[in-house]
């Protein structure tokens, strides 16, 4: 009998092409997603060396980071010169090397981590990589998915493999059920709050437990998306009936006999009884509250009922970091989180730009108006999410409430396009990073769930969604 | 890629924890399609004020550290995005080695692809080297990759661990795409095996 394996062990073993004496492996990559920011130098490297893309049919490219999300984006003048050059470089590279491509003009265009699952490129048991740290999102399907740097992008393009050493196994279990008003975003932020941003370093996390099983596929993607914020190489969730139902019928999902064969394999993707985990973290679903971040690291997270902490509450290098955070964020220790005034609300990103997220926000905003003077925008994760939201009437709810209804892209998640905060401007954001300057130089970011972001848009300050239910 | 064998140079102290890739190179500089030229924008928002003037207090703006080749940094250096622009910016500035108690995974890997050596040491050693770095331009730290040691200006040597394959590539400046392509047969074999086993991929 073979030793019990985790789901990570199983996927890993199925993708090893060759192992060296020291344990370094050549790992086969099933899907390679590409966007415009981290790929130009990699394609250039191929050209210089006279190399081809080994498996263009397994390579999928889409521009998302730079593209404007305003309705007039077909007009080239909406992009800065350097953004335009980067998007054009991707157009050209996709064409020259013959990879699958969704240009800006295609309704299927969107954030790479939303497009992959939506089009059925991401399937259980696969290895999925992208020159983007939030590739962890695809782990929601029981795939081994992680970000890579540009040199590795070039390596995958040329060889369809990566040189890797295996990470350790970490289990994050969320027992029981979530309370009303608590979402996948609150789970993933609470886990980072508990482990710290380095807590997962060197590990691949398997999220499990009843509260995870009870999440939709959208919610599971939100959870896995932020595995990287906890330092993990990847995060994944064993596939189940919900996964199979989500995948079935998608354009690039297998059909007929291939579907049956795939399904039989996918059902073997679970962690065996007694498999070894190097690290285990358990949270009770009932204990998780709606949370927000107060600082400039995703680990700076507290229940919305809390108060801004003081540097003295911390030890070591974190004391200086907290002081710096509070100065940057313009906050005072002891201040109630619900007293923090908000200027801008951003709903979108690969963390929370899917249809379920828009439904959650619309449910809070329906028939109401956002606070006077508030700037608020909803940026759907893909053109297809946008179309569905229009069909379901969500778009009209946003527009009636006074929010801007945008086209798909990364937008204010990292502010490489024109959507940026000004210095001191304070934003409630459904994205995943609250780093200094992330949403624009001097901009202040509070991370939270879509429902909490919608609530803040109505009241003008951070708000406990449970008070509105 | 340039080889990395030994290095003796000025080390800049950056005790802040969780220095993320957005701090190392803010996103407005990611719009380049080249790998070079990012050094002037390394740590841009910590280094320059709104008007583009240097902020005097920032360590790399101080005369002693303007040519630092080593950083001694707080825990979890390089967390955040996968942007290889972070090591490109460090390299373009002239930094060839970063020492910390821990690094974010992707950043750590990216360093090796660019001839930068990230060194993980226990807290005590990093604290001691941080103190050494604070002494300024006269305190030169020596890094020897072959011997796997870091030696402070007062001659105290610390051993560090490094993956054997990564060390080999760095010592010899090897391009690992070339190495992997030598295994093309193995990749062919794997692909044909999986075409039968997992035909849906
Ligand atoms: S939405 Fe934000 S986090 Fe996601 S891929 Fe785009 S920039 Fe990165």
Residue A38 is nearest to which of B15, B45, B84, comparing CB atoms? B84
pLDDT at B176: 87
Asked whether the predicted pLDDT for residue A426 surpasses 70, the reply is: yes
pLDDT at A88: 95
Chain B residues closer than 8 Å to A198 by CB: 18, 75-76, 79, 102, 104
B8-40 tens-digit pLDDT = 999 999 999 999 999 999 999 999 999 999 999
The rounded percent of chain A whose pLDDT value lies above 90 is: 96
Residue B30 is nearest to which of A85, A163, A416, comparing CB atoms? A416
Tokens representing B2 are: 């340039």
A259 phi-psi bin (left φ>0, alpha ψ -120 to 50, beta other):
alpha
Helix axes B105-112, B164-172, angle to 10 degrees: 40
Site of tokens 């680990």: A299
Residues A241-277 as b/e (b if ≥16 CB within 10 A, e otherwise) read ebbbebbeeeebbbeeeebeebbeebeebbbeeebeb
- DSSP H or E segment with residue A18: strand A16-19
Chain B residues closer than 8 Å to A437 by CB: 22-23, 26, 45
Strand ranges, E, within A412-458: 426-429, 444-447
Q: Is A111 close to ligand 1, i.e. is its CB under 6 Å away?
A: yes
A319 phi-psi bin (left φ>0, alpha ψ -120 to 50, beta other):
alpha
A283-311 tens-digit pLDDT = 999 999 999 999 999 999 999 999 999 99
Query: Strand A31-34 relative to strand A59-61: parallel, antiparallel, unpaired?
Result: parallel
pLDDT at A74: 86
Is B33's CB within 8 Å of A441's CB?
no
* Average pLDDT, consecutive stretches of 10 residues, N- to C-terminus, chain B (201 residues): 94 96 94 94 96 96 97 96 96 98 95 96 97 92 98 96 95 91 96 97 92
Q: Is A385 close to ligand 1, i.e. is its CB under 6 Å away?
A: no
Arithmetic mean of pLDDT over chain A = 97
Q: Which of A42, A90, A317, A350 to mutate to test the interface with B (most CBs of B within 10 A)?
A: A317
Asked whether the predicted pLDDT for residue A466 surpasses 80, the reply is: yes
Q: Which of A114, A136, A350 to mutate to test the pocket of ligand 1 (most atoms within 8 A of CB)?
A: A350
Residue A151 is nearest to which of B45, B75, B84, comparing CB atoms? B84
Residue in chain B closest to A84 (alpha carbons) equals: B31
A239-265 tens-digit pLDDT = 999 999 999 999 999 999 999 999 999
SS3 A120: coil
ipTM of the complex in this document: 0.93
SS3 A310: coil
CA of B14 to the centre of ligand 1 (A): 28
How far apart (Å, rounded) are the C-alpha atoms in residues B139 and B184?
48
Query: Which residues are CB-contacts of B3 (< 8 A; sequence separation ≥ 6)?
Result: B115, B170, B171, B172, B173
pLDDT at B139: 84
Q: Is A349 close to ligand 1, i.e. is its CB under 6 Å away?
A: yes
- DSSP H or E segment with residue A25: strand A25-28
Is A41's CB within 8 Å of B114's CB?
no
Site of tokens 């950056």: B14
> What are the residue ranges of helices labelled H in A253-337?
256-266, 317-329
Is B113's CB within 8 Å of A198's CB?
no
Asked whether the predicted pLDDT for residue A427 surpasses 80, the reply is: yes
CA of A308 to the centre of ligand 1 (A): 27
Residue B199 is nearest to which of A22, A165, A258, comparing CB atoms? A258
CA of A64 to the centre of ligand 1 (A): 8
Is B199's CB within 8 Å of A423's CB?
no
CA of A216 to the centre of ligand 1 (A): 21
Confirm whether pTM is higher than 0.90: yes
Tokens representing B97 are: 């080695």
A130-177 tens-digit pLDDT = 999 999 999 999 999 999 999 999 999 999 999 999 999 999 999 999
Sheet with strand A31-34: strands edge to edge: A100-101, A59-61, A31-34, A127-130, A144-147
How far apart (Å, rounded) are the C-alpha atoms in residues A256 and A267?
17
Q: Which of B1, B25, B31, B163 to mutate to test the interface with A (most CBs of A within 10 A)?
A: B31
Mean pLDDT, rounded, for A446-465: 98
Is A158's CB within 8 Å of B181's CB?
yes
Tokens representing B15 are: 């005790």
Domain spanning B6-174: CATH 3.20.20.60: no
How far apart (Å, rounded) are the C-alpha atoms in residues A311 and A301?
14
Half-sphere exposure of A233 (CA within 13 A, CB side): 21
Residue A297 is nearest to which of B18, B177, B181, comparing CB atoms? B18
How far apart (Å, rounded) are the C-alpha atoms in residues A99 and A94?
5
A219-246 tens-digit pLDDT = 999 999 999 999 999 999 999 999 999 9
Strand ranges, E, within A365-452: 375-378, 404-405, 426-429, 444-447
**CB < 8 Å & 24+ apart, contacts of A442-447:** A442/B50, A443/A415, A444/A328, A444/A329, A444/A330, A445/A293, A445/A296, A445/A421, A446/A292, A446/A293, A446/A294, A446/A340, A446/A342, A447/A185, A447/A189, A447/A292, A447/A293, A447/A298, A447/A301
How far apart (Å, rounded) are the C-alpha atoms in residues B92 and B178?
24
Asked whether the predicted pLDDT for residue A75 surpasses 90, the reply is: no
pLDDT at B69: 98
pLDDT at A1: 62
- How many helices and strands (H and E) does chain A possess? 16, 19
**Contact predicate A166/A25, CB 8 Å:** yes
Is B102's CB within 8 Å of A38's CB?
no
How far apart (Å, rounded) are the C-alpha atoms in residues B100 and A371?
46
Chain-centroid distance, C-alpha A407: 18
Question: Whose C-alpha lies nearest to ligand 1, atom 4?
Answer: A350
Q: Is A350 close to ligand 1, i.e. is its CB under 6 Å away?
A: yes
DSSP code at position B39:
G
**Contact predicate A331/A340, CB 8 Å:** yes
Q: Which residues pair with A145 in a beta bridge?
A: A128
Mean pLDDT, rounded, for A397-406: 98
Mean pLDDT, rounded, for A434-451: 96
Asked whether the predicted pLDDT for residue A277 surpasses 70, the reply is: yes
B127 touches chain A (CB under 8 A): no
Tokens representing A335 are: 């201040």
**Contact predicate B117/B109, CB 8 Å:** no
CA of A29 to the centre of ligand 1 (A): 22
């Amino acid at each position: 009998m073979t030793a019990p394996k985790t789901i990570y062990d199983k996927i890993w073993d199925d993708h090893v092409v060759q192992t060296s004496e020291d344990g370094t492996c050549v790992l086969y990559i099933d899907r390679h997603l590409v966007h415009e920011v981290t790929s130009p130098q990699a394609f250039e490297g191929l050209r210089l060396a006279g190399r081809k893309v080994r498996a263009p049919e397994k390579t999928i490219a889409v521009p998302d980071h730079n593209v404007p999300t305003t309705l007039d984006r077909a007009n080239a003048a909406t992009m800065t010169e350097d953004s335009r050059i980067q998007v054009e470089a991707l157009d050209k590279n996709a064409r020259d090397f013959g990879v699958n491509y969704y240009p800006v003009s295609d309704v299927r265009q969107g954030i790479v981590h939303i497009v992959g699952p939506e089009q059925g490129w991401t399937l259980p048991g696969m290895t999925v990589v992208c020159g983007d740290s939030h590739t962890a999102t695809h782990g929601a399907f029981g795939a081994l998915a992680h970000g890579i740097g540009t040199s590795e992008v070039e390596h995958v393009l040329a060889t369809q493999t990566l040189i890797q050493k295996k990470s350790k196994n970490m289990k994050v279990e969320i027992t029981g059920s979530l309370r009303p008003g608590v979402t996948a975003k609150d789970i993933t932020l609470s886990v980072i709050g508990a482990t710290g941003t380095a807590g997962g370093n060197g590990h691949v996390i398997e999220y499990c437990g009843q509260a995870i099983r009870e999440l939709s596929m959208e919610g599971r993607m939100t959870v896995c998306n932020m595995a990287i914020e906890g330092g993990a190489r990847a995060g994944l969730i064993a596939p189940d009936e919900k996964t199979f139902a989500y995948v079935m019928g998608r354009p690039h999902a297998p059909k007929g006999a291939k579907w049956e064969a795939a399904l039989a394999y996918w059902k073997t993707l679970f962690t065996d009884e007694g498999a070894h985990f190097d690290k285990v973290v358990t949270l009770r679903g009932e204990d998780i509250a709606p949370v927000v971040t107060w600082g400039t690291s995703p680990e700076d997270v507290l229940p919305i009922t809390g108060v801004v902490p003081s540097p003295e509450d911390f030890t070591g290098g974190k004391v200086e970091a907290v002081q710096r955070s509070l100065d940057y964020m313009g906050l005072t220790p002891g201040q109630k989180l619900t007293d923090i005034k908000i200027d801008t609300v951003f709903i979108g990103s690969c963390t929370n730009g899917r249809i379920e997220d828009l439904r959650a926000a619309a449910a809070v905003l329906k028939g109401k108006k956002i606070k006077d003077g508030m700037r608020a925008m909803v940026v759907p994760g893909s053109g297809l999410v946008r179309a569905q939201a229009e069909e379901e009437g969500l778009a009209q709810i946003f527009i009636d409430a006074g929010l801007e209804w945008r086209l798909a892209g990364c937008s204010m998640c990292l502010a490489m396009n024109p959507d940026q905060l000004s210095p001191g401007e304070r934003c409630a954001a459904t994205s995943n990073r609250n780093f200094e300057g992330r949403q624009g130089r001097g901009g202040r970011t509070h991370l939270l769930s879509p429902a909490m972001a919608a609530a803040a848009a109505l009241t003008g300050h951070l708000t406990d969604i449970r008070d509105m239910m | 890629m340039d080889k990395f064998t030994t290095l003796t140079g000025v080390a800049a102290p950056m005790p802040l924890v969780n220095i993320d890739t957005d701090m190392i190179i803010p996103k407005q500089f990611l719009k380049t399609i080249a790998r070079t030229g990012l050094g002037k924008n390394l740590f841009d928002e910590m280094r320059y004020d709104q008007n583009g003037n240097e902020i005097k207090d920032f360590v790399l703006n101080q005369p002693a550290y303007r040519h630092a080749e080593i950083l001694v940094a707080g825990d979890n250096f390089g967390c955040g995005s996968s942007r290889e622009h972070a090591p490109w910016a460090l390299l373009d500035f002239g930094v060839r080695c970063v020492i910390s108690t821990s690094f974010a995974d992707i950043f750590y890997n990216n360093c090796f692809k660019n001839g930068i050596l990230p060194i993980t040491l226990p807290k005590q050693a990093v604290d001691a080297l941080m103190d050494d770095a604070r002494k300024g331009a006269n305190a030169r730290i020596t890094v020897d990759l072959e011997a796997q040691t870091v030696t402070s200006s007062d001659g105290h040597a610390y051993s560090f661990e490094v993956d054997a394959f990564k060390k080999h590539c760095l010592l010899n400046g090897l391009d690992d795409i070339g190495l992997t392509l030598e295994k093309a047969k193995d990749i062919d074999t794997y692909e044909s095996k999986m075409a039968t086993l997992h035909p849906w991929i």
